[in-house]
Amino acid sequence: MHNFISKSTALAASAFLAGCSLMPTYERPIAPVASQWPASAAVSAPGDTTGARSIPALAWQDYFTDPTLRQLIDTALANNRDLRVSVLNTQQARAQLGIRQADQFPTLNAAATGSRSPDSNGAIKSAYSAGLTVTAYELDFFGRVASLKEQALAQYLATSESAQAAQISLIATVAQSWMSLLADEALLAVSHQTLDSRAESLKLVELKLQHGAASDFELRGAQTLLESTRVTLAQQQRQRALDENALVLLLGQPLGEASREQLKRQNVTPLQFAELPAGLPSELLARRPDIRQAEHLLIASNANIGAARAAFFPRISLTAGAGSASNALSGLFKDGAWGWTLAPQLVLPIFDAGRNQANLDAARTGREVAVAQYEKAIQSAFREVADALASRATLVHQLQASQALLEAETARNHLTQLRLDHGVANQLEWLDARRSLFAAQQALVQTRLACQQNQIALFKTLGGALQN
């Protein structure tokens, strides 16, 4: 027991003299990802060794070139309630940081007291005092208050990065929702055009049937094509309404006239994307706000260990006052009534049933949890970027194939119609050609949308086009 007290006293004395913190030295964990992107996500020509740090930042206003989309994003940034909550959380964390920073300084108060009470003889005794006081100011010899301040700072920075991540996510989601709405309009236009064409075909078959030039089988086939188009049109109308509702929620207000005018034009504006040279993924991913947030939380948990360690050592607090005292209110500020008090207090934990040790164990475990969350954030980001890059290469080929398929199906439909008119093709061939053409038209719109969505996903997964 004597040795334990001696060791504790020696350690406390050395910490007091050195004024050192008990917070562990922070070391950033090694990124648990590959040093190169997967082969399926190659983004530059072989032999390109340009560093990732040389990649310039690209603001979202430069990334999204369509004026209507820019206006929608500006509206969402100003009115989206989720983003507003994130910003308010940042302000709240900043206020908490201010509280922790204030704990490092003494609180000076002006105080005045007065009392009147009877003594043992029944006489009324008065006592008045006024002055400046410092109450229970902790002398932070072991860095407990400083560690708590560092923890609050890291939590504030993490909250700020969370708000940045929420902003990037909102920008990307608004862009994706707008692209989906434009694609809905394009699909509706295709369906309306196909519906009109099939309605005319049905009328023609009905006329042929009246003159004995067509069979009931051909009539039912034309009716099937028409009704299937109506089913598809109803589904697309419902999806279009749902997509608009989702976009309105993101914007925080209804769509404006400029947006509705562009929807009528069904103009899916190509989006600009900056080409990426080769580079270490850890350098790229370090720019993502969610990864910076995870690292700040890790730093906060590291600082919490310092505060938990300091709880094992004496806590020294100081209460002091300076002012005047008198038995009469009129003599409170006269000469000879002035004085001061100084009351230091030292509290050394001896027995707490293991509370301090449990707090330290919890703080150490919390740091291990934060390390795992930080590593998981990097792994998830690596996968998201790799997926987006891999999809970009294949979607370009898919779009080219979809365009070629539509051209082929258009020519096939025209030839089949000619063959049917001359009695060379049968009704089944004609029905199959019409169905294939409609499917190819829809597939091209959906593939074009997938390409646009992929470009937006790259903006999001790279932390807002590699913003610093």
Is the predicted pLDDT of residue 271 greater than 80, yes or no?
no
- The two tokens of residue 119 are 């003594």
Give the percent of the chain with pLDDT over 90. 39
272-283 pLDDT tens trace: 555 554 444 556
Q: How confident is the model at residue 236 (pLDDT cuts 50, 70, 90)?
A: very high
Is the predicted pLDDT of residue 126 greater than 90, yes or no?
no
Q: How confident is the model at residue 329 (pLDDT cuts 50, 70, 90)?
A: low
Integer Cα distance of 309 and 412 in angstroms: 79
Q: How confident is the model at residue 23 (pLDDT cuts 50, 70, 90)?
A: confident
**What domains appear along the chain, each with residue ranges and CATH number?**
61-114+125-384 (1.20.1600.10)
pLDDT at 10: 45
Is the predicted pLDDT of residue 240 greater than 90, yes or no?
yes
pLDDT at 283: 67
Average pLDDT, whole number, for the chain? 83
pLDDT at 151: 92
Q: How confident is the model at residue 241 (pLDDT cuts 50, 70, 90)?
A: very high
Quote the distance between the C-alpha of residue 198 and its chain's center: 47
Task: Give the best-scoring range by mean pLDDT among 37-41, 101-105, 128-132, 240-244.
Answer: 240-244
Exposed/middle/buried for residue 237 (C-beta within 10 Å: 0-12, 13-18, 19+): middle
Is the predicted pLDDT of residue 95 greater than 70, yes or no?
yes
Integer Cα distance of 312 and 429 in angstroms: 86
156-214 pLDDT tens trace: 999 999 999 999 999 999 999 999 999 999 999 999 999 998 898 889 888 888 888 78
Task: Output the pTM of the full model.
Answer: 0.83
pLDDT at 14: 42
Integer Cα distance of 54 and 44 in angstroms: 14
Is the predicted pLDDT of residue 18 greater than 50, yes or no?
no
Integer Cα distance of 99 and 289 in angstroms: 25
- The two tokens of residue 405 are 């398929």
Integer Cα distance of 98 and 75 in angstroms: 32
pLDDT at 150: 92
Give the percent of the chain with pLDDT over 70. 84
Integer Cα distance of 388 and 454 in angstroms: 6
Q: How confident is the model at residue 131 (pLDDT cuts 50, 70, 90)?
A: confident
Is the predicted pLDDT of residue 320 greater than 80, yes or no?
yes
Integer Cα distance of 281 and 31 in angstroms: 9
Is the predicted pLDDT of residue 47 greater than 60, yes or no?
no
Strand partners, 126: 116
Quote the distance between the C-alpha of residue 364 and its chain's center: 27
pLDDT at 213: 78
Q: Which residue has the tokens 């023609």?
A: 204
Tell me the DSSP string of 119-180.
Answer: -TTS-EEEEEEEEEEEEEEEE-TTSHHHHHHHHHHHHHHHHHHHHHHHHHHHHHHHHHHHHH
- Edge-to-edge, what's the strand order for the sheet holding 108-118? 108-118, 124-139, 315-326, 338-347
Q: Which residue has the tokens 């300091």?
A: 310
435-462 pLDDT tens trace: 999 999 999 999 999 998 988 888 888 8
Is the predicted pLDDT of residue 344 greater than 90, yes or no?
no
Q: 267 versus 384: which is more confidently predicted?
A: 384
Pairing of strands 315-326, 124-139: antiparallel
Other beta carbons within 10 Å of 406: 20
Lowest mean pLDDT among 11-25, 126-140, 414-428: 11-25
pLDDT at 274: 53
Helices (H), 269-354: 281-285, 289-310
